[in-house]
A and B are shown apart, each in its own frame.
Chain A
């Protein structure tokens, strides 16, 4: 509790947050330089290490330069030695049979399509296998990644061999296979438990990410779809195209219009759901309210029901022609003509914010209600003794407390809302379309749904621009969350509890 009372004297967490954004950017050049300094030093040290090994190593160690794992095998670490050796054999086989096909064409991403092959007399003697730019790019990335991993392992075994040699010279014990196995469950347990998750992350996140980032530097779009056509590198052309502001429907104008709405949406949806959830939590937790659990259950159902069900239903409720809402309003005589709920910019935008409250309020109620009950009663009591009125109490105690405790959560929510795909996609699909935006974009489109439309969903996929936009969104979100991450006490005070 002392932490809490101390916290109230601290500056408002949001002010502090924006100050820290400034600080982060001010510190950035320095950090940037430092990073390269450290990188340079690291590389220098690494070369020095290799040189030492080559100079001072005995024949067993030196043989390890050619036969991986020899330095381990020679000193009785047969498990490591065999694994290193197998790795080397596998890698060499891979580089002979698979690697060149992808790496060789990585520079051009393929140069010929499938087509007939003619002999000298002009007769067709077969069909050539064409290049597939996508496959070349993807497996080129995989190959490069494998080479990097191999290189790391190669130098690791070299150092291992040299360490073995030194230990033998000084008569120190060398970890045998038994120790290796034991260490896997104890000292090196993190390697054991991180290996599979890391493999998963590498295959399902890192490789796709590198692939998509590289796509931003190619001309992969509807005119260059594989396997029918080839695409190739174009350098920074796509980034130049993004900042083309000629005409209202140009890429640049569309991008910044959508970025504006995305940020507005993120602010609106975060604030409305947060305040709505807090009010709801206060109401339900009020002393004397009965059936608390029943009420809570009613609201929580929206979290449990898949959003593609609940949001699709709601979107059909507000259908212009056949929607329930319009039909009801008509049958009551309130309106004569159907209202286009998602047909006009401002109305559609208001509707998505309101419906998002329907989705988001229960979630934020769940989170805030526990914290609301945790506000220490003494705080209120001392405020009362000091003669603070209830309004003052609310703004001086309840709100600061809530903002302080849920600050990081709020900012995570904000980043989440920038990427809130479901609500927009399922409700409006980005519509209404407008004359002053590029074709697939609509007035309620967030950057993320626009991205989906121009890459996955559309009839004219434009992967290259999608990738460029993806990178920009990614940078914005990543900076935000890195700053939050640094400020979260879950990280700062990591050692405090333990």
Chain B
């Protein structure tokens, strides 16, 4: 074959160039199409006003329509292809959680498994893992990890949300000495790579006795939510947009700052509360660095992230591949569903606070 004559790197570069060129053409095509379409619109308005011929107008309109339909079809095709590319890894994971596992075989070659089974799911969700009497699996206790993660996520979600909202309210509504310097300080502190400080955090938590058994989960909650006040940025931006006149009139009625916060500002801030809570809740599901440092390989008290990661690390990852797929599905589905429902708030939060000119 022609390609085999070329060196390996050349093959790679060729394939890649093709892909890149295709992507570039697709993007250019889309932009070009948009431009042409708009020009047509401008032209057609110009010509229709100039020409009085009905037949010409009709033909023109018909041509427009045909072109519109073709272009829309192209857009739909492009979008569908892109959507497939985006979703394929996840479809693959779901499908392969049902694959009949032949432990240790090379990576499956096809997207669709040939034999189907719920073996991995049964192993993952049901019963006592130690009963397998197999050191490859007896440490896998997925229901427990899931419960750990859920509890940790709920606790840190509550604490984080409170901390964030309180900090941002103070920065947005109260005026006090050191307000600006404090805000800047927090911004700068946030630039420090978090895991570098983890050695110190681990030692602090150990000295508090939070390094044994279930207390590791308490430590995790603290790690995830302790510095939550530093994420004041987005919600402060939101609070800033609530008219201060509301506060003033409440003050005239004798309300204290605490009452204004709980009875006026918070009820008006539903999107930002949901956004803050959502991101805080998702944090523990997504983190894989801090949990590793706190739990030190003790998966029993760790989150799903630690467990799933360990699956791929302990032995050849092929051994646990279907289990990993099932576990990943279990993690991804609830978060995705939650995210879909609250997407509106998420977008409002992101665009409302951080994107301002």
Contact surface of A with B, Cβ cutoff 8 Å: 3, 7, 13, 134-135, 138-139, 142, 182, 185-187, 189-190, 192-194, 196-198, 200-201, 203-209, 211-212, 275-276, 279-280, 282-284, 286, 288-290, 295, 297-310, 312-314, 316-317, 319, 321-324, 327-329, 331, 333-337, 339-341, 344, 346-347, 350-351, 354, 358, 362, 366-367, 370-371, 384, 389-391, 393-394, 404-409, 412, 415, 419, 421, 448, 451-452, 455-456, 463, 466-467, 470, 473-474, 477-478, 481-482, 485, 488-490, 494, 497-498
Contacts and interface: CB of A to CB of B under 8 A. Distances in A.
A193 B79 contact: no
Nearest to A336: B4
B191 A370 contact: no
Given A485-B184, A489-B357, A201 B230 contact: yes
B252 interface: no
Given A204-B197, A482-B188, 18 more contacts: A7-B357, A200-B222, A279-B31, A280-B82, A283-B75, A283-B79, A300-B340, A309-B328, A323-B107, A324-B92, A335-B3, A358-B85, A455-B195, A466-B196, A467-B196, A485-B187, A490-B237, A498-B244
A498 to B, nearest CB: 4
Contacts of B241: 497
Interface of B: 1, 3-4, 8-9, 11-13, 15-16, 19-20, 27, 30-31, 34-36, 38-39, 42, 68, 72, 75-76, 78-79, 82-83, 85-87, 89-90, 92-93, 106-109, 111, 163-164, 166-167, 169-170, 174, 176, 184, 186-193, 195-201, 203-204, 207, 222-223, 225-230, 237, 240-244, 256-259, 261, 282, 285-286, 288-289, 293, 305, 308-309, 312, 317-318, 328, 331-332, 335-336, 338-340, 343, 346-347, 350-351, 353-357
A335 B5 CA distance: 11
A306 B179 CA distance: 35
Contacts of A280: 82
* Majority-rule SS of A interface residues: helix
A259 B353 CA distance: 31
Given A305-B336, A328-B109, A408-B354, A185 B87 contact: no
Nearest to A189: B257
A150 to B, nearest CB: 19
Contacts of A135: 203, 207
A371 B354 CA distance: 13
15 contacts: A205-B192, A279-B27, A298-B83, A300-B340, A300-B343, A304-B340, A309-B328, A310-B90, A317-B92, A328-B109, A366-B350, A390-B39, A467-B196, A473-B193, A497-B244
A167 to B, nearest CB: 21
A186 B106 CA distance: 66
Contacts of B331: 306, 309
B355 A474 contact: no
Contacts, number: 321
A303 B282 CA distance: 11
Contacts of A498: 240, 242-244
A462 B299 CA distance: 27
A299 B86 contact: yes
A317 B282 CA distance: 25
Nearest to A405: B357
Contacts of B259: 185
Most B Cβ at <10 Å: residue of A198, A208, A212, A463: A208
A194 B170 contact: yes
Contacts of B305: 306, 308
A304 B200 contact: no
A474 B335 CA distance: 32
A207 B8 contact: no
Given A138-B203, A208-B197, A407 B107 contact: no
A197 B289 CA distance: 23
A283 B230 CA distance: 36
